Chains A and B, each alone.
Chain A
Amino acid sequence: MLNMVPSAFKIIRDENKCIQCKVCVKQCANLVHYYDEEKDIVRADDTKCVCCHRCVVLCPTKALTIINYPLDYRQNANWTKNYMDDIYRQAQSGGVLLASMGNPKPFPVYWDKMLLNASQVTNPSIDPLREPMETKVLIGRKPEKLEYDKKGKLATKMPPQVELKIPIMFSAMSYGSISRNAHESLARAAEELGICYNTGEGGLNKDFYKYGKNTIVQVASGRFGVYKDYLNAGAAVEIKIGQGAKPGIGGHLPGEKVDEDVSGTRMIPLGSDAISPAPHHDIYSIEDLRQLIFSLKEATAYKKPIFVKIAAVHNSAAIASGIARAGADAIVIDGFRGGTGAAPARIRDNVGIPIELALASIDQRLREEGIRNEVSLIAAGSIRNSADVIKAVALGADAVYIASAALIAMGCHMCHSCSVGKCNWGIATQVPELVRRLNPDIMYKRLVNLVSAWNHEIQEILGGMGINAIDSLRGNKLMLRGIDLNEKELEVLGIKHAGE
């Protein structure tokens, strides 16, 4: 059948820079570059390129550039190039269009429409060079109040908390959708940073139990790899109800990715497709969730906080309040720009709402219910830099999850083709030669560098606001001002407009 889908990208090779060293040929898993023996030159097949930049980065003479394939379609604001290409693809494949990463559509990014406060004269800055800047947070359930006995000793027993030196955690990416080396890098980085990484719904590999105190083990609808030791291995357990990139639907890890290492970790037969059903088949109402939460608490002798992760959808505020009342220790809200290894493109691009709006409304609703202080709120999907972290905390989050940012730190170039399983950077793949490209000794350090840099920036910004502990920024909406936002958006976010 004729392939009407044009190449997406075009490789431009500067002939007088190319030294035919063939590094690009050896490194491109998509077989874009090939060596023409007879003419002794290296050539490229545009149709296979996904613009992952592996060749561009490794080319020793920087002879390569990649541009969007310069092909104009007839001007049509309704039938855009993307929609036509989607139809060509589906007319050829007859299947659901799969996509990866978060919602790429140009919906407003509210992070970029909020400005931060700074101290001038009346409220002096605090000098981060001289004064300690505290970014530690405690994630978990808090009692309504603390009681002291006659002798002045603390009588209330505190529920378990997860201590994070920095209010940033690495979000769920399952063992199998990303490689073993990627998981090891995340685990070792979490350990060195004093934060946590999330195992994702693919279970926890035996070799990584030693990073338990910096791990959050996830329980998803597929229950992959879930058993007693797994639940007790981590610092907390996270029930995955939904994911920002694909609210309401399950997940699917293709069988060929399930080699013996992945099948052992997930406890599913070798090579079988790992399908997480859309709903948890034992949670069809809020009280079923409460039962799951307390059965997990029982299984972990009440020593582990239980998180519940939901996708940011229309009535997230009510759902979150319900989850808090169902006994969850922390609520994770994943915005519609949160990443995924594979999800139907239509759902990724149209379902769910921005994290900023969901977070603001949930924080406000829990305050109106008077229970905000009893649970922790964790915002995810997608945090791109330390300013986003500051704004999330100001909107009411206790901490944030980052995943796409962590992948990018490890070399991901957002080529959006994780589902193909041939990630040239060794992240979203199980092919041994490719996985080897992600050297944990290097990559864990890059993750540590990233989060430490962000933490340093957060401390600088806090100092500028005259705050020396992140606790005083949480829900501090006076520190935010909106710009280029309408009245309703300001109202939902609960912030004033810049200049007010």
Chain B
Amino acid sequence: MKRIYAFEDKCLGCGLCEVYCRTAHSKSKDIIKAHKEENIVSGISIEEIMSPKSAFYFALQCRHCKDPKCVKACISGAMYKDENDIVRNNKDKCVACLSCVLVCPFGAIKKNTDGKAVSKCDLCVEVGSPVCVENCPNEAIKLLDEDSEILK
């Protein structure tokens, strides 16, 4: 299965991945409306690593685990694994009880600003290919097979 991997030596911490993630998961799919009117939570988020010489960053999103704790913890069956093994959230069934947030070891699930459901990375399965990877100015995140050479 292909997942998105971040490379700390390349990430600029610019935040473009978050911008494009919000846009791709907005209703309007319009970058300006998505940010000015819809207030979407991005499925990917930048973390800063303090190191003496210079700040390093990396972008993190759902790892689509083989044995996902969030699916186990979900009381409504909203969090499920689809046929391509992508962990997805069904907005209609989710009541934002945040049991998934309680158990996700990566902290990759966030409550929506409207508090009605949660947001997480779905590998842009509907868009076609992950917009964060496509729009990273420095190829700091890549969509790779889990046993690809680069990860060794």
- Touching in the complex, A and B, CB below 8 A? yes
B16 contact set on A, CB distance < 8 A: 21, 23, 58, 60
8 Å CB interface, B88-124 against A: none
Any B CB within 8 A of the CB of A433: yes
Any A CB within 8 A of the CB of B65: no
B9 A61 Cβ-Cβ under 8 A? no
Minimum Cβ distance to chain A for residue B14 (Å)? 5
B139 A433 Cβ-Cβ under 8 A? no
Any A CB within 8 A of the CB of B13: yes
Query: Could you tell me the distance between the alpha carbons of A437 and B18 in the complex, rounded to whole angstroms?
Result: 18
B-contact bits for A331-374, CB 8 A (1 contact / 0 none): 00000000000000000000000000000000000000000000
Known: A21-B15, A58-B16, A436-B12. A16 touches B53 (CB 8 A): no
B35 contact set on A, CB distance < 8 A: 19-21
A432 B54 Cβ-Cβ under 8 A? yes
Any A CB within 8 A of the CB of B127: no
Q: How many residues of A contact B (CB 8 A)?
A: 20
A215 contact set on B, CB distance < 8 A: none
Minimum Cβ distance to chain B for residue A17 (Å)? 6
Per DSSP, chain A at the interface is loop
A-contact bits for B2-42, CB 8 A (1 contact / 0 none): 00000001111111101110010000000110011000000
Partner of A58, one of B10, B55, B137: B137
A60 B19 Cβ-Cβ under 8 A? yes
8 Å CB interface, A442-482 against B: 442
B55 A61 Cβ-Cβ under 8 A? no
A442 B138 Cβ-Cβ under 8 A? yes
Partner of B15, one of A22, A432, A437: A22
Tell me the number of A-to-B contacts counted with CB atoms below 8 Å. 56
Known: A23-B16, A436-B12. A60 touches B139 (CB 8 A): no
Minimum Cβ distance to chain B for residue A129 (Å)? 34
A22 contact set on B, CB distance < 8 A: 15
B32 A442 Cβ-Cβ under 8 A? no
Query: Could you tell me the distance between the alpha carbons of A60 and B135 in the complex, rounded to whole angstroms?
Result: 9
A431 contact set on B, CB distance < 8 A: 54
Q: Which residue of B lies closest to A440 (CB)?
A: B10
Query: Could you tell me the distance between the alpha carbons of A20 and B10 in the complex, rounded to whole angstroms?
Result: 24
Q: Which residue of B lies closest to A22 (CB)?
A: B15
Q: Which residue of A lies closest to B8 (CB)?
A: A436
A433 B32 Cβ-Cβ under 8 A? no
A439 B36 Cβ-Cβ under 8 A? no
A442 contact set on B, CB distance < 8 A: 138-139
A58 B14 Cβ-Cβ under 8 A? yes
A-contact bits for B51-76, CB 8 A (1 contact / 0 none): 00111000000000000000000000
Q: Which residue of B lies closest to A432 (CB)?
A: B54
Residue contacts A-B, CB under 8 angstroms, 27 given: A17-B32, A19-B31, A19-B32, A19-B36, A21-B15, A21-B19, A22-B15, A23-B14, A23-B15, A27-B12, A27-B14, A58-B14, A58-B16, A58-B137, A60-B16, A60-B19, A60-B20, A60-B23, A60-B31, A431-B54, A432-B54, A433-B12, A436-B9, A436-B10, A439-B139, A441-B139, A442-B138
- Give the interface of A toward B (CB within 8 A): 16-17, 19-23, 26-27, 58, 60-61, 431-433, 436-437, 439, 441-442
- Give the interface of B toward A (CB within 8 A): 9-16, 18-20, 23, 31-32, 35-36, 53-55, 135, 137-140
Query: Which 5 residue pairs spanning A and B have beta carbons closest together?
Result: A19-B35, A432-B54, A60-B19, A439-B138, A21-B19
